[in-house]
A and B are shown apart, each in its own frame.
Chain A
Amino acid sequence: MGSTLRIVNGRVHDPANGVDGKTRDICIKDGKIVKSVPPKTKCVDAKGMVVMPGGVDIHCHIAGAKANIARKLQPDDHRRDIHRRMELEKINTRSGTGGTVPSTFTTGYRYATLGYTTAMEAAAPPLLARHTLEELDDTPVIDKGFYILMGNNVLLYKMLQEERHEEIRNAVAWWLNATKSYTTKLVSPGSDEPWKGHRNATITQLNDKIDGFEQLTPRKIITSMVNTVDDLGLPHPVHIHCNNLGHSGNYKTTLETMKAADGRRIHVTHIQFHSYGGKPDGEPTSKAPEIAEYINNNPNITADVGQVMFGKSTSMTADAPLAWMLTRYSNDKRWVNADTECESGCGIIPFAYQERVYTHALQWATGLELFLLSKDPWRMVLSTDHPNGGAFTSYPRLIRTLMDREFRKQQMESVNQRAVAKIKRGHHMEREYTLQEIAIITRAGPARILGLKNKGHLGPGADADITIYDEHEDKELMFSAPRYVIKDGRLIIDNHEFRNNHEGKILHVSPLYDEGIEDVIRPFVEDFYTIRFDNYAVSDHYAPRREVIPTTKQ
């Protein structure tokens, strides 16, 4: 095809290549960024505009079984927020509904409309991988991948009890291949067994024994998975949702978890929800300073914040005991629990964060503190744990809150004052994120943490996923409506108008493993699952467009 494009006159923010607001041309050929294109190439004039790589969302919940139950659960959420079908010149787009859990097509279009071109679904039970992949296939424009839940996997528990580490490595690699997923996710490791098997009991300490597996503790599971993923050389380390999410005093568990990594790579997700002081069952306080300091000093740790945004959210998590606990604080009567055999739990409740509520205001402020105290934007990146802390559509507002001190102060004054009073004052409260730092926490940083070498930057060889914003004083406005969005070299949004549809691809890993491991997994699946082993692995048909991201061992 040889389609080419040149972006001229724009101020480029490409932190990965050390470009901070310089005016330079970006050349595109066949969906990739190249050094140069012929002089007569079609141009996009970006005068007075800011050019960045397309946004990369490292942690969101957009597709699969639990997202779909959340959709079915909340027609009220969709009715207020419709997404019309568009009749474009070449192709029609699909209609859908929005709210905190948009339908799949709407999810893709809306990410693109915000200038995001990649998003990672953060939690799928491997048994239901087909469902996640089918939904991702119906999520247009963006590239996407997903993480498989491995922290409550019964077969791995059995292997770990017997210290069969080599087999664990092969089994994890088999599972990643069988599901076409991107990395492993641990959610409250150890918590499903007491929840499902012991009358909804919970686990609170990293050294607690796990029901039915007397040799095991959450700590052992964490260490094992950190090592396994590191040994496999996956592009992204283990992605961990620590134990005790949302509980007062949980920052200790979070610190312990990070220490358990013992210098190896680990990504701690929605860390805001894990940064609370206070007594168990008492009011939470913020321990953001302690958490931020630990991360600042330990380069093996990366994190995303999981900012809380005021307004409607949907709490949906593999952490079933957490959702059950939240029902106590919710006015909404609806609660969903969904167990997946041998692999996972799941809880869903409709939720709303309110300015006047002490806990909600404290959570909001804790997230901001983490952002403001972080010394390395490459390792503390933006997320709202969509839709848990708030929908991804609230990112522009969050960006403004980080970039605009006055705006932040105004909000501080309008939320629960008792909560704000608990936040440490200091120089950091005056900090304003620069455009370059925003480019890091929303694209360059997540791409680097994910090990996506072709994303999050604008150097030759990168995927031509590019967003061009009008410069604007009001940063919320600026980031909510890019003037141009380019995906794989195609203009999707052209002069603020949605012009082109596009199908993104699945990003997944395919680590090597010893096929002998199938002889270990097969009998277990045949005894304790309800589908045949040979029907477990998904076929290529479920990821018609895909890219394998190599491991460091390949």
Chain B
Amino acid sequence: MMRVAEKAKSEGNIKIVEDATCTFCGCLCDDMVLTVDVDAKKITKAKNACVLGKALFLNYEEEDRPFALIGGKEATTAEAVEEAAQILANARFPIIYGMSDTTCETQRKAVGLMDMLGGTIDSTTSVCHGPTGMALQGVGESTATLGEIKNRADLVIYWGGNPAESLPRHFARYAVTAKGMYTPNRKKDRTIVNIDVRHTKSVPVADIFIQVKPGADFELLWALRALVKNRHVDPNIEKKTGVSMKTMKDLVERMKNCRYGVLFFGMGLTMTRGRHFNSAAILSLGSDLNEYTHFIATPMRGHGNVTGADTVVAWQTGYPFGVNFSRGYPKFNPGEFTATDMFVRGDADAGLILASDPGSNFTQAAVDHMKKIPMIVLDPKYTHTAKLARVAFTTAHYGINVPGTAYRSDGVPIELRTCLDSKYPSDEEVITAIYRRVEQLLIAKKRSKGANNKRQKAA
């Protein structure tokens, strides 16, 4: 049987890798055909990729950077592992944050490292769809893999998201112009609705655009839930939301009467006023509609493998993100054990940033604290966070140099192919090396403590 790592044809220094996966966004398109110039270590063509995917592959180059930097000075990977392990072993409140752009294999080891250290683990989920995770705990969800949506959905509603720019192939591969089993005429077999506070690039593909006033998503969702259940809705809602009662009722009729409906929602909903109340409201609306027909409500997630991060952290600890091990078992408390909060409050005394760049997108208060504590960064690129780190590792690119698993936003796991080797180690190798060294240091620490205790007792 054909195996994932083997699907490549070579001719001279040109290699064609078929069915490679683009990890740039949550679409995780696995149909890339990459033309690789092995000698030049460049990807010269990325067939099937969108603009973002093309940028990812065609701009790839193995940067000629040091393997690691310690305090800004060049170092070997081994030296950096030693320094990183010392930092972590001596920290009282270490945290790992990021994980959205690395393999599940790495994520699994990273959670283990924090378990051993009694630290905290958090992913970029806490700053994107964390509220959705919390809403799930309150109300559940009705979800589907994207293929089911492609095959069956005749009503697709985008809410608070702009896939045309953030998930460019979402329309063509999954939900709008995709050809499915019961949607052979593609867009003609579907009604597309877009609900947003602004007129985005995703609006033109929609048959219906509903502009909601900023900050009024929750009110609109709640009114729709009431209308679905044939309850009375205060006409004032029109003023509050900027949406007419007629539009709402029309939408409700469409939702109740479709055969397979979908609500895709984005950060426009989860990261604005209302946050997890908004997520809970839209998940509930999706569930409510199942009284009438088959209905799905599911988040559109951005980063390559952020879904993998939630998945791994949940199977290892029971909770999806923001998990702390200081008591010797996992504790979950968003707002307490989420990275921004830990940095802003000044709780973390060491940080390991794995494949993410909070230095460029966290609040100033959080970044100020990061500057004060020893930070360790693993990234193929020299990021803002790497610049303020005590230890910065250069690692290989997952999905280009490193194989492994990534989860699409709908939970479908995909095995990544490689197309070029890298001289740099993978994230997994670095985390594993740090893990081993920290383990030794902790054992030594325990022994010396034990010896001290004995001495004290003797005295």
Contact = CB atoms under 8 A, between A and B. Distances in A.
User: Is chain B a partner of chain A in the same complex?
Assistant: yes
A519 interface: no
Interface stretch (A356-364, A492-500, A524-532): A524-532
Interface stretch (B37-45, B85-93, B173-181, B450-458): B173-181
A435 B133 CA distance: 46
Size class of B's contact patch?
35 or more
Interface string A342-385: 10000011000000000000000000000000000000000000
B140 A348 contact: yes
B243 interface: no
B151 A342 contact: yes
Contacts of A44: none
B365 interface: no
A73 B439 CA distance: 33
Interface stretch (B53-61, B292-300, B335-343, B382-390): B292-300
Contacts of B112: 94
Contact of B415 (A68, A73, A82, A535): A535
Interface stretch (B234-242, B326-334, B348-356): B326-334
A134 B405 contact: yes
Contacts, number: 208
Interface string A89-100: 000101111010
B405 A99 contact: no
A165 interface: no
A338 B143 contact: yes
Nearest to B297: A337
Contacts of A532: 19, 30-31
B328 A84 contact: yes
Interface in B99-140: 104, 108, 112, 115-116, 133, 136-140
Contacts of A534: 2, 4, 7, 18-19
Contact of A104 (B137, B316, B319): B316
Nearest to A98: B318
B317 A199 contact: no
Contacts of B259: 197-199
Contact of A535 (B4, B133, B142, B173): B4
A528 B140 contact: no
Contacts of B317: 95-97, 103
B152 A196 contact: yes
A103 B292 contact: no
B140 A349 contact: yes
A223 interface: no
Interface of B: 1-5, 7, 18-19, 21, 30-31, 104, 108, 112, 115-116, 133, 136-148, 150-152, 173-174, 179-182, 259-260, 287, 290, 292-294, 296, 310-312, 314-320, 325, 328-330, 332, 403, 405, 407, 411-415, 439
Given A84-B328, A339-B144, A534-B19, 20 more contacts: A65-B411, A78-B319, A84-B329, A85-B115, A85-B329, A95-B330, A97-B317, A128-B412, A134-B104, A135-B315, A177-B1, A196-B152, A197-B294, A339-B143, A339-B148, A341-B150, A529-B147, A530-B412, A540-B3, A541-B415
Interface of A: 63, 65, 67-68, 71-78, 82-85, 92, 94-97, 99, 101-105, 127-128, 130-131, 134-135, 138, 154, 177-178, 195-200, 324, 333-342, 348-349, 527-532, 534-535, 537-541
**Nearest 4 A/B pairs, CB to CB:** A341-B147, A97-B318, A339-B144, A334-B140
